[in-house]
Amino acid sequence: MTFQLFGLPVSRGIAIGRAVLVASSRIDVAHYYVGADAVETEIDRLRVARDAVAAGLAAMKNDLPAEAPAELSALLDVHLMLLHDESLTGATKQWIRERHYNAEWALSAQLEVLARQFDEMEDEYLRERKADLEQVVERLLGVLARGEDGASPIVAPASGGDPLVLVANDISPADMLQWKGGVFLGFVTDVGGKTSHTAIVARSMDIPAVVGAREASRLIRQDDWLVIDGDAGTVIVDPPPSVIEEYRAIKRERDASRAGLARLRHLPAVTLDGEAVELLANIEQPGDAAAALEAGACGIGLFRSEFLFMNRGGDLPGEDEQFEAYRTAVEAMKGLPVTIRTVDIGADKALDRMSANELRHEHALNPALGLRAIRWSLSDPAMFRQQLRAILRAAAHGKVRVLLPMVAHLSEVRQTLDALARARQQLDDAGRAYGPVEIGGMVEVPAAALVLPAFLRHFDFVSIGTNDLIQYTLAIDRADEAVAYLYNPWHPAVLQLIAQTIAGARAAGKGVSVCGEMAGDTAFSELLLAMGLRSFSMHPSQIVAVKQRVLGADAGRWSQSLGRILGADDPERECLVVTSAMSENAHLVEGHRAPRAVASEPAL
């Protein structure tokens, strides 16, 4: 019987194949009391199991193939960290000592306690780490039950040559490693959210995936044919042959258009009227730089350095470690510019440690308005200088720009410039080499857009963070699903602030780019060009699609309609009207390098 399941679309594309069900690996545990004389033996069993799982995870990390996504190594580190956390193994020992539970019972009892704590966490990312904890506990239980290293390799069943897709309650990063070889074309999980590890890894592997499809692993049977639509977040179970054929055709079409687009990767992005446009990449780890180059990026417009600071179990990266990370990215970009944003921690991006700052932040009533981004850095001058020194040292190896997140006050700029001067002095004193950097600020709060000229006296460039600019202009918490319907990039106030910032920076002869999601959204490409934007920074996977829009746009003609669009009550509608008028009249315009409407003779 055909039916459809709905989940979250987390990695795009269509996958069609037979289901391989990986049963939810919750292990039935034995519950019994151990005698007082057997307590130490039971604790020993736990210790041996922990060491075996740790060795298994470490070996897996060691054996990661060179082409494995960088996230996998980080995920294995998270599992190792959870495994050694006192709140897991230490507290489990307590259950054995005080209640005389057997090791398995103690472990599952402690999992219940910790799972409840995760469920109560407000931060979505941290809440989703519960799945990682469960996977670690399952490994421990697996060793206790079988005396092995807890790994439960997913072996692809004989499928008679049919393509396979994986269905599971959840998939651990370690298990995902095993099918990296291309055994499965897509996957569906019952649990998971946008930022769950499975979603992150699926995206980095570019495999269609739907997560959070709740009952999927219960409702789907082994060998069922499935159509996974990673763009729509749907799974069609047991579709009739006609539906499979239809999706195969859609898939061919999408694959062909992606392949066609891929040919644009290394073409320069120039508009029809000859305006050169810079398409840059946003990255989170130094290892992402290779993918950025491969996607045709002409530099890194946003290196979100805070990802180096997260999930480290309490310690922050030192100067040398940061320097190595920045230098790796800089060298990978082979002379192209790398824009390193100083730590933008806070609000939806929490550190995992509870530093004094974090504690204050956690208890703030409005974390998005609290001690975050540049404010957080300036509250710990030694830590901030450490990051600046690492960036300055990396600048000796290539072209580096420093970007300050969420500046709103001139005093923040002055303090940062002082910190930079001190960092240089410290490097001089230590005899360390460093290079020149350009310095810029993010325009993410309306205040920065409104007093832009004052900021521009200190900055070499600005970068518009539309994700936060929308949040702060419209007073919409970008992480709050309840008000997500009001989070509207087309709001005239947002567009006017963006247009004003681009015009102001250009008039002052300073560089300006957009690095929020709007830069990679093709619905805005022509409008941003009309505003005068010539530098866009986005996820590498969006570059070719934006390039296609740039190649087909006439920036000059678009700029003639800018006033009309910005003055409209509904700019989105107005933009569509302009788009269709342009394509209808395209053949009338002289000087085009490529015909825009060639299908039929114009009816003059």
Which active-site residues does the annotation give? Answer: 197, 515
Does residue 516 belong to the site contacting ligand PEP (CB under 6 A)?
A: yes
Residues 380-419 that bind ligand PEP (CB under 6 A): none
| Smallest separation (angstroms) from ligand PEP to the CB of 198 | 22
Stretch of 2-10, 316-324, 395-403, 464-472 lying at the interface with ligand PEP (CB under 6 A): 464-472
Longest CA–CA separation in the chain, Å: 99
Report d(CA 567, CA 571) in Å as an integer: 8
Stretch of 82-90, 104-112, 220-228, 466-474 lying at the interface with ligand PEP (CB under 6 A): 466-474
Bridge partners for 209 per DSSP? 11, 187
Among 29, 515, 527, 533, binds ligand PEP (CB under 6 A): 515
* Alpha carbon separation from 88 to 40, 47, 422 (Å, rounded): 18, 12, 43
| Smallest separation (angstroms) from ligand PEP to the CB of 188 | 28
* Alpha carbon separation from 555 to 469, 512, 572 (Å, rounded): 24, 17, 18
Give the residue with the Cβ less far from Mg ion, 212 or 465: 465
* Alpha carbon separation from 215 to 4, 5, 170, 555, 583 (Å, rounded): 11, 8, 12, 49, 46
Give the residue with the Cβ less far from ligand PEP, 398 or 465: 465
Give the residue with the Cβ less far from Mg ion, 74 or 469: 469
Report d(CA 108, CA 126) in Å as an integer: 20
Residues 438-457 that bind ligand PEP (CB under 6 A): 444
Positive/negative CA dihedral, 404, 405, 407, 411: negative
Give the residue with the Cβ less far from ligand PEP, 539 or 549: 539
**CA-based Rg of the chain, rounded to a whole angstrom?**
27
Quickly tell me which residue has 């296609």 as its tokens: 548
- Sorted by sequence, the CB contacts under 8 Å of residue 47 that are 6+ apart come out as none
Neighbour tally for 193: CB within 10 Å: 16
Does residue 346 belong to the site contacting Mg ion (CB under 5 A)?
A: no
Q: Please check whether residue 461 is in contact with residue 401, taking contact to mean a CB–CB distance below 8 angstroms.
A: yes
Q: How many residues bind ligand PEP (CB under 6 A)?
A: 10
**Pairing state of beta strands 338-341 and 3-6?**
unpaired
Give the residue with the Cβ less far from ligand PEP, 186 or 511: 511
311 binds, among Mg ion, ligand PEP, none (CB under 5 to 8 A by kind): none
Residues 447-466 that bind Mg ion (CB under 5 A): 465
Task: Return the DSSP state at 503.
Answer: H
Report d(CA 372, CA 369) in Å as an integer: 8
190 binds, among ligand PEP, Mg ion, none (CB under 5 to 8 A by kind): none
| Smallest separation (angstroms) from ligand PEP to the CB of 267 | 26
Among 45, 50, 93, 304, binds ligand PEP (CB under 6 A): 304
| Smallest separation (angstroms) from ligand PEP to the CB of 478 | 8
* Alpha carbon separation from 233 to 193, 229, 323, 374, 410 (Å, rounded): 12, 6, 40, 36, 45
Does residue 466 belong to the site contacting ligand PEP (CB under 6 A)?
A: yes
150 binds, among ligand PEP, Mg ion, none (CB under 5 to 8 A by kind): none
Stretch of 13-21, 194-202, 331-339, 463-471 lying at the interface with ligand PEP (CB under 6 A): 463-471
355 binds, among ligand PEP, Mg ion, none (CB under 5 to 8 A by kind): none
Does residue 468 belong to the site contacting Mg ion (CB under 5 A)?
A: yes
Does residue 344 belong to the site contacting ligand PEP (CB under 6 A)?
A: yes
| Smallest separation (angstroms) from Mg ion to the CB of 89 | 37
Give the residue with the Cβ less far from ligand PEP, 391 or 498: 498
Stretch of 40-48, 140-148, 192-200, 460-468 lying at the interface with ligand PEP (CB under 6 A): 460-468
* Helix H or strand E segment including 231: none
Give me the amino acid identity at 246: E
Give the residue with the Cβ less far from Mg ion, 349 or 385: 349
Residues 222-251 that bind Mg ion (CB under 5 A): none
The closest residue (CB) to Mg ion is 468
Give the residue with the Cβ less far from ligand PEP, 283 or 333: 283
Does residue 367 belong to the site contacting Mg ion (CB under 5 A)?
A: no
Does residue 195 belong to the site contacting ligand PEP (CB under 6 A)?
A: no
Task: Return the DSSP state at 536.
Answer: E
For the chain, what's the residue count? 604
**Which string of DSSP letters, residue by residue, matches 282-338?**
EESSGGGHHHHHHTT-SSEEEEEGGGGTSSSTT----HHHHHHHHHHHHHHTTTS-E
Structure tokens that stand for 69 in this block? 């996504």
Residues binding Mg ion (CB under 5 A) = 444, 465, 468
Binding site for ligand PEP (CB under 6 A): 302, 304, 344, 444, 465-468, 515-516
